[in-house]
Amino acid sequence: MQSNEQMWELNYGVQATSWLLVRPGIQYVIRPGGFSNRPDAVVFAGHLQTVF
Protein backbone atom coordinates (compact mmCIF):
# COMPACT_ATOMS: atom_id res chain seq x y z
CA MET A 1 0.00 0.00 0.00
CA GLN A 2 1.30 3.44 -0.92
CA SER A 3 1.50 6.18 1.70
CA ASN A 4 3.21 9.57 1.78
CA GLU A 5 6.88 10.40 1.29
CA GLN A 6 8.71 12.90 3.48
CA MET A 7 12.00 14.61 2.79
CA TRP A 8 14.37 16.74 4.86
CA GLU A 9 16.92 18.77 2.94
CA LEU A 10 19.94 20.86 3.92
CA ASN A 11 21.78 23.00 1.36
CA TYR A 12 24.35 25.72 1.74
CA GLY A 13 26.75 27.69 -0.41
CA VAL A 14 30.40 28.61 -0.02
CA GLN A 15 32.23 31.18 -2.13
CA ALA A 16 35.49 29.19 -2.33
CA THR A 17 37.28 31.75 -4.49
CA SER A 18 36.22 34.97 -6.21
CA TRP A 19 35.16 32.89 -9.23
CA LEU A 20 34.02 29.54 -7.72
CA LEU A 21 30.79 28.90 -5.81
CA VAL A 22 30.40 25.47 -4.14
CA ARG A 23 26.94 24.28 -3.03
CA PRO A 24 26.92 20.91 -1.24
CA GLY A 25 23.69 19.43 0.05
CA ILE A 26 22.20 16.43 1.80
CA GLN A 27 18.68 14.97 1.72
CA TYR A 28 17.05 12.43 4.02
CA VAL A 29 14.05 10.70 2.42
CA ILE A 30 11.52 8.91 4.63
CA ARG A 31 9.41 6.23 2.88
CA PRO A 32 10.88 6.76 -0.64
CA GLY A 33 8.11 6.68 -3.23
CA GLY A 34 5.53 6.50 -0.46
CA PHE A 35 6.17 2.81 0.28
CA SER A 36 6.75 1.96 3.95
CA ASN A 37 8.57 -1.31 3.11
CA ARG A 38 11.42 0.60 1.40
CA PRO A 39 14.30 1.72 3.64
CA ASP A 40 14.88 5.42 4.23
CA ALA A 41 17.48 6.99 1.93
CA VAL A 42 20.28 9.51 2.34
CA VAL A 43 21.20 11.50 -0.78
CA PHE A 44 24.33 13.64 -1.17
CA ALA A 45 24.47 16.30 -3.89
CA GLY A 46 26.98 18.85 -5.08
CA HIS A 47 26.93 21.84 -7.38
CA LEU A 48 29.91 23.82 -8.64
CA GLN A 49 29.36 27.17 -10.33
CA THR A 50 31.88 29.48 -11.91
CA VAL A 51 31.20 33.20 -11.68
CA PHE A 52 32.65 35.46 -14.34
- Tens of pLDDT, residue by residue over 7-28, are 999 999 999 999 999 999 999 9
Task: With beta carbons less than 8 A apart as the criterion, state whether 3 and 36 touch.
Answer: yes
pLDDT band at 51 (very low <50, low <70, confident <90, very high): confident
Q: Taking residues 32-36, what's their average pLDDT?
A: 91
At 2 the pLDDT is 80
Longest dimension (CA), the chain: 51
Q: How far apart are CA 2 and CA 52, in angstroms?
A: 47
This prediction has a pTM of: 0.73
